[in-house]
């Protein structure tokens, strides 16, 4: 496995019959490709979008790309991660529709957005990329545990090498008292994805549910829709000061979704969890993103922010 690995390479010869997978943000980009590849390998997939119209369009495009049998294994889902009311409603819907979930792919996200707050008052990137998935994942734990009892279950958080831009801003995570920096806010939210996987695996690994976070690579998708030419110049400048010394080469959509599928399905990762992956291999995140004490602290902060506690 390497930078060039594609979804077809990861799932070659893999049979996911009997597996139920939930993929958030599946209406475009690597989320769409993740949903397509899972369905093609035999899984029943719940691809989600933000509105009923987008969910219908998403499933129609996926069915067009798949053969008839695979197309019948798609059940559209609607969730708006900027609204905890929507998140909780979607979790309740899944619980009423399914007895078990084997794969939860927390793929949906935003990047470097102008300053905005979610309907619950959170800074948009933290709310969308972490707090919405935090509530959704925890509310689906009973389904994931049922999936683990039937074989195995995994939670996959799509993070980014952009986590290196910032750890958690413990004193002001929602930019209520300090000036907003969209790249710092993005970095914080992506660090949260990794820490969340670390703490999830500590809590659930003994029950057969393992969690991973990953960097998909640099891919030209709608994730960058908020970026101007100046933003790209700043991104390049920041990358030049990083250990890598510059921006990486771009990946195709099929290459970008490969590490997600590796995290979700690879037998090499059986019994493991709490890991950060890149290019379909285990990688090393920034120190602040792998610290178990910070992972536990983030869990407590997240519960406080969403005003909901979850079983240890």
CB 189 within 8 A of CB 168: no
CA distance 280 to 256: 10
CA distance 141 to 149: 12
209, two tokens: 């549910």
Report residue 77: phi and psi, to 5°.
-130, 150
Render the chain in DSSP notation, one character per residue.
--TT--HHHHTTT---TT-EEEESSTTSHHHHHHHHHHHHTT-EEEEEESSHHHHHHHHHHHHHHS-HHHHTTB--EE--TT-HHHHHHHHHHHHHH-S--SEEEE-----SPPS-B-TTS-BHHHIIIIIHHHHHHHHTHHHHHHHHHTT-EEEEEE--GGGGG----TT-TT-SSS---HHHHHHHHHHHHHHHHHHHHHHHGGGTEEEEEEE--EE-SGGGTT--HHHHHHHHHHHHTSTT-SPPPEE-HHHHTHHHHHHHH-GGGTT--SEEEETTEEE---GGGT-HHHHHHHHHHHHHHHT-----
- Matching residue, tokens 């007895």: 99
Residues serving a catalytic function are: 180
């Amino acid at each position: 496995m390497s930078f060039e690995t594609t979804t077809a390479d990861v799932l070659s010869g893999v049979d996911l019959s009997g597996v139920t997978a939930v993929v958030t943000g599946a209406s475009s980009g690597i989320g769409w490709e993740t949903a397509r590849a899972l369905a093609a390998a035999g899984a029943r997939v719940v691809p989600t979008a933000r509105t009923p119209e987008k969910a219908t369009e998403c499933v129609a495009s996926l069915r067009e790309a798949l053969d008839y049998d695979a197309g019948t294994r798609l059940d559209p889902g609607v969730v708006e991660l900027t609204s905890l009311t929507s998140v909780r409603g979607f979790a309740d819907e899944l619980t009423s529709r399914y007895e078990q979930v084997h794969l939860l792919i927390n793929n949906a996200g935003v990047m470097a957005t102008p300053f905005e707050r979610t309907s619950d008052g959170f800074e948009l990137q933290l709310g969308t990329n972490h707090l919405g998935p935090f509530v959704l994942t925890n509310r689906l734990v009973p389904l994931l545990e049922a999936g683990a009892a039937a074989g195995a279950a995994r939670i996959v958080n799509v993070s980014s090498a952009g986590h290196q831009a910032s750890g958690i801003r413990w004193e002001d995570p929602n930019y209520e008292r300090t000036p907003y920096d969209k790249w710092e806010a993005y970095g914080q939210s992506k660090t949260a994805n990794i820490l969340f996987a670390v703490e999830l695996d500590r809590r659930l690994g003994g029950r057969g549910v393992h969690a991973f976070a990953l960097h998909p690579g640099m891919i030209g998708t709608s994730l960058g829709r908020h970026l101007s030419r100046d933003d790209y110049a700043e991104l390049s400048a920041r990358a030049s000061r990083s250990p890598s010394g510059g921006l990486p080469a771009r990946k195709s959509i099929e290459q970008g979704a490969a590490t997600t599928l590796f995290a979700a399905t690879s037998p090499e990762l059986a019994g493991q969890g709490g890991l950060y992956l890149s290019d379909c291999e285990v990688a090393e995140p920034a120190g602040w993103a792998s610290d178990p004490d910070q992972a536990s602290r983030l869990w407590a902060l997240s519960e406080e922010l969403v005003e909901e506690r979850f079983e240890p």
